[in-house]
Structure 1
Amino acid sequence: MIAQLTHSNNDIASHIYAVFQASYKIEAALIGTDNFPPLSRTPQDIANSNTLFYGFYEGDSLAGVIEITYQDKLLVIDSLTVAPLHFRKGIAGKLIDYVLNAFDFTKAIVETAVVNAPAIRLYQKHGFNEFKRFTPSHGIEKLALVIEKEQ
């Protein structure tokens, strides 16, 4: 089941944080870095965020989280994480499908590390295409992918 998460609630922010930490530690190892910016987010940062969070629940367990920004028909996937116990169950794909179908957008954008081949394949499977490569100040080369719809 997918539901919008009230991330301003400290308990829910802590659950989101737990999924982020478990998933992003694995992503940091995949990328080969000890300095992975998403790992520095705190539960309070999540609670204070102006983004929208949706969670995939398996029973009572928060198994995956997608964080988005939506404004003026621009949909940005800010983060997508799945708890390691729930890897390879199609949860990330279900969360992507959910937001792509729930919002009326003209452009959807997502960024990931260039070396994160599994994430790139997943986004491409859902219709995203590469449009930019860049290296932010933290030094991890990134890839931006986009879906553009004609209106």
Structure 2
Amino acid sequence: MIKKLDHQNIATARKIRAVFQVSYAVEAELLKAADFPPLKRPLEGFTGSSNEFFGFFEEKELAGVMEIDEKKDSVHIQSLVVQPKFFRKGIGKKLVDFAFSNYKTKLFTVETGAANGPATNLYLQTGFTKLEEFDTDHGIRKVRFEKPFI
């Protein structure tokens, strides 16, 4: 089940952050990143965010989280994380499909680490097109995807 999360509630923000921490630790390993900014995001980075957060629940447990940054003419999937014990169960796809069904926009965008094969495969399988690769200030190679909607 997917539902909107009240990320301004401290207890909910702690649960969101916990999922981010375990998921991004796996991504940092995939990317061989010594300095991975998502792992440094403080609790206030969630409670003070203007983005929307949606959670995928597996038997009352928060198994995945999607963070959406809605702009005037586009929607950016800012983050999409799944607890490692729930990997390979289709949760990421369900969250992406939820975004497609619930946001009316001309363009969806998302970014991930270039060496993150599972995320890259997810985005390609859900209809995104690879737009470009670029390097961050933290030495991480990233890839940007987009999916136009008419």
Bin the TM-score by the shorter chain: over 0.9
The one-character-per-residue Cα deviations of 1:31-89 (angstroms, maximum 9, x if unpaired) are: 11121110000112111111110000112100000001112130100000001111111
The one-character-per-residue Cα deviations of 1:104-134 (angstroms, maximum 9, x if unpaired) are: 0100000011111111110010000011111
Aligned to 2:145: 145
Give the superposed CA RMSD.
Answer: 0.8
Provide the C-alpha distance between the structure 1 equivalents of 2:16 and 2:34, rounded to a whole number of angstroms.
21
The one-character-per-residue Cα deviations of 1:15-35 (angstroms, maximum 9, x if unpaired) are: 000000000001101111121
Aligned length: 150
The share of aligned pairs that are identical, in percent, is 40
- SS of residue in 1 equivalent to 2:130: strand
Provide the C-alpha distance between the structure 1 equivalents of 2:79 and 2:136, rounded to a whole number of angstroms.
16
Structure 2: unaligned runs, 5 residues or longer: none
Q: Give the ranges of 4+ consecutive aligned residues of structure 1 lying more than 4 Å apart after TM superposition.
A: none
Aligned to 2:60: 60
Using structure 2 for the length normalisation, give the TM-score.
0.97
Provide the C-alpha distance between the structure 2 equivalents of 1:102 and 1:71, rounded to a whole number of angstroms.
14
Using structure 1 for the length normalisation, give the TM-score.
0.97
